[in-house]
Chains A and B, each alone.
Chain A
Amino acid sequence: MSTDSQSSEDEALPSRETLQERIEQLEAQVADLEDDDSKKMSIIATKGSLDMAYPPLILASTAAAFGWEVTVFHTFWGLDILHEERSRDLKVSAVGNPSMPMPNALGAFPGGDRLATWYMNREIEDNGTATIEELIDTSLEMGVDLQVCQMTADLFGYDTDEFYDGVTTDVGAATALRDMADADIQLLV
């Protein structure tokens, strides 16, 4: 069949070039999808207490062990996890936490949080639980992208060089949203 003939019937059909172009587009899309078989996880870490610093770091480092691509966007109090000095002094709040193995009313007295923190740190040590610093180092080593929300860093007056080496700075909500849109798993902690 000649492609030169311009009958009205032929005009209704896409040209060979158009079809070829479309096939190439689809092939490129399939190749992209095949490349993209590794899972992605995006975590937003908003809490800076010792107990709440663990879940995002444990999930992030374990997901990296699965070969997943992981980003953790740290914002508000979650920033303290990546702040080198503050991360070594994260505290547990005894107030409003009925699971603490001490009378809840004690938490409201001066030194209540210090007592709860001391207790948890002792348990962490006795149980061979990794420290926050160890989990951060391991996560970075395994390629987890730990991100500092620039807006909250400015709000809290943290300088870029106060965070652990290897974290990503100068990122904002749009970066986090893009990561969430690309991810198979999205978590807000």
Chain B
Amino acid sequence: MTQEFTAAETLDVRGENCPMPVVKTKQAIDDLESGDVLEVLATDPGSESDLGGWADSTDGVALLEQGQTEMDGVTVYTHYVRNE
């Protein structure tokens, strides 16, 4: 994973399900300055497709990177979204 950016904030939506990861990402990204990157941590496997679909269709956001990692024995889906 090559990170060429630093997350200004982290949104932890682990344990939450559709539609909350997308909805809370939108709310959190709106609180950031233009150019800032938001890190989203989710356990919802659907968040991978959903955040991609959301970022594609929504003005003012860019999905920089998505990944998976293990935290406390649980698969966590990571998403990096920039406020454009």
The chain A residues found within 8 Å of chain B, CB to CB, are 58, 61-62, 64-67, 127-130, 135, 138, 141-142
Contact = CB atoms under 8 A, between A and B. Distances in A.
Interface in B16-30: 16-20, 22-23, 25-27
A65 B19 contact: yes
Nearest to B26: A65
Contacts, number: 43
Interface of B: 15-20, 22-23, 25-27, 43-44, 54, 57-60
A130 B58 contact: no
Q: B interface, by DSSP: helix, strand, loop or mixed?
A: loop
A29 B17 CA distance: 42
A142 B20 contact: no
Contact of A66 (B15, B17, B20, B58): B58
A128 B16 contact: yes
B16 A65 contact: no
Contacts of A141: 27
Nearest to A139: B23
B46 to A, nearest CB: 12
B26 A58 contact: no
Contact of A127 (B17, B19, B25): B17
